C-alpha cells in the first residue's frame, strides 16, 4: 500500500529538513524534487538544451549535493522549471517514487497540486522572507560558500516570484493543503506538527 506525503512551499522554508525528519520517523522514502530541477539547471549552464537535459537525467546526477546547492544553480533550476516540457519529462519519475510501497515524502512546489493530487497528507510550509534568508544564509556560509545575506534574500525572492508566476504548475498551496508557517517555530515543533497530521491521516 502506498502512502504519500506532499510537502510544498517557497524556497528555503524548511521543507527539506522537515521532509527528511518526517520520512525518518515513519520509515518512508524521501525525494527532494528540487534536486531534479537543479540537476537539469546545472546541465544547462554549459549550453545544453533544458528539455534534453531533463530527458537525459540519471539518478547519479542528483548525488553531487554541493554542486547542486549553489545560488547560481538554484536560479538555473527556477528558469528551466518554467519550461512545460521540462516539467513533463520529470513527472513519471516523481509519481513512481510517490506510489512505491512503504510510503513516500516528496517535497517541492507542485507535489500537492500536480504531481500527487491524491496524496494522503498535503502540507504547505512557509516562513517570512527574513527568516528564510537567514536560515539559508547560515546553511550556505556553514558549507564555506562566500555569499551575503542580501544576495541570498534576492535569490529567494526572485525564484519565488518566477515560480509563482509561471503558467505551468505554479507555486501555490493545494486547496486541501494544511498551511504551516515555521517563522516562529523550531524545527522540532514543525516536525511534531507534521507527524501529528500524518498520524491523524493514517487513522
Ligand atoms: O526546492 P529547491 O529550492 O531546491 O528548488 C529549486 C527550484 O526548482 C525552485 O526554485 C523551483 O523553480 C524548482 N522546483 C519546481 N518544482 C518542484 C521543485 C522545485 O519548480 N517540485
Res 65: pLDDT: 86
pLDDT digit string, tens, across residues 5-56: 999 999 999 999 999 999 999 999 999 999 999 999 999 999 999 999 999 9
Give percent of the chain with pLDDT exceeding 70. Answer: 100
**Residue 67 scores a pLDDT above 90:** yes
Residue minimizing CA distance to atom 1 of ligand 1: 34
- Per-residue DSSP letters for the chain? ---EEEEE-STTSSHHHHHHHHHHHHT-EEEETHHHHHHHHHHHTTT--HHHHHHT--GGGG--HHHHTSHHHHHHHHHHTT-HHHHHHHHHHHHHHHTSTT-EEEEESSIIIII-TT-SEEEEEE--HHHHHHHHHHHHHHTT----HHHHHHHHHHHHHHHHH-SSS-S---TTPEEEE-TT--HHHHHHHHHHHHHHHH-
The residue to mutate among 81, 104, 155, having the most atoms of ligand 1 within 8 angstroms of its beta carbon, is 81
Res 146: pLDDT: 93
* Angle value at C-alpha 47, between 45 and 51, nearest 5 degrees: 95
Instruction: Measure the CA–CA gap between 88 and 142, rounded to whole angstroms.
Output: 35
**Residue 66 scores a pLDDT above 90:** no
Domain range enclosing 68? 4-202
Which strand ranges, in their side-by-side order, compose the sheet holding 178-181?
Answer: 29-32, 104-108, 4-8, 121-126, 178-181
Assign 194 a pLDDT band (cuts: 50, 70, 90): very high
Res 104: pLDDT: 98
**Residue 203 scores a pLDDT above 90:** no
Contact in structure between 146 and 201 (CB atoms under 8 Å): no
Instruction: Measure the CA–CA gap between 104 and 66, rounded to whole angstroms.
Output: 24
Mean pLDDT score across all residues of the chain: 96
Res 1: pLDDT: 78
CATH number for 166? 3.40.50.300
**Residue 174 scores a pLDDT above 90:** yes
pLDDT digit string, tens, across residues 104-141: 999 999 999 999 999 999 999 999 999 999 999 999 99
Domain tally, the chain: 1
Q: Residues lining ligand 1, CB < 6 A? A: 11, 33-34, 37-38, 74, 77-78, 81, 108-111, 159, 163
Tell me the CA–centroid distance for residue 198 and ligand 1, in Å. Answer: 24
Assign 193 a pLDDT band (cuts: 50, 70, 90): very high
Residue minimizing CA distance to atom 5 of ligand 1: 34
Nearest to 91 by CA among 176, 169, 202: 169
* Cα dist from 203 to 45, 57, 121, 169, 197, whole Å: 47, 38, 12, 30, 10
Contact in structure between 61 and 29 (CB atoms under 8 Å): no
Instruction: Measure the CA–CA gap between 171 and 52, rounded to whole angstroms.
Output: 24
Amino acid at each position: 500500500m502506498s502512502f504519500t506525503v506532499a510537502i510544498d512551499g517557497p524556497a528555503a522554508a524548511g521543507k527539506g529538513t522537515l521532509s527528511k525528519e518526517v520520512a525518518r520517523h515513519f520509515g518512508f522514502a524521501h525525494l527532494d524534487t528540487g534536486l531534479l530541477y537543479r540537476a537539469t539547471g546545472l546541465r544547462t549552464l554549459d549550453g545544453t538544451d533544458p528539455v534534453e537535459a531533463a530527458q537525459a537525467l540519471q539518478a547519479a546526477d542528483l548525488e553531487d549535493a554541493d554542486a547542486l546547492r549553489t545560488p547560481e544553480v538554484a536560479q538555473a533550476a527556477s528558469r528551466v522549471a518554467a519550461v512545460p516540457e521540462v516539467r513533463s519529462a520529470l513527472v513519471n519519475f516523481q509519481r513512481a517514487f510517490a506510489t512505491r510501497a512503504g510510503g513516500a515524502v516528496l517535497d517541492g512546489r507542485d507535489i500537492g497540486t500536480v504531481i500527487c493530487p491524491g496524496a494522503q497528507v498535503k502540507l504547505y510550509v512557509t516562513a517570512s522572507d527574513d527568516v528564510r534568508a537567514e536560515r539559508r544564509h547560515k546553511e550556505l556560509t556553514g558549507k564555506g560558500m562566500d555569499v551575503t545575506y542580501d544576495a541570498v534574500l534576492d535569490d529567494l525572492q526572485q525564484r519565488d516570484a518566477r515560480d509563482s508566476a509561471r503558467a505551468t504548475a505554479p507555486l501555490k498551496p493545494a486547496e486541501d493543503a494544511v498551511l504551516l508557517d515555521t517563522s516562529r517555530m523550531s524545527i522540532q515543533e514543525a516536525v511534531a506538527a507534521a507527524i501529528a497530521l500524518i498520524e491523524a491521516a493514517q487513522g
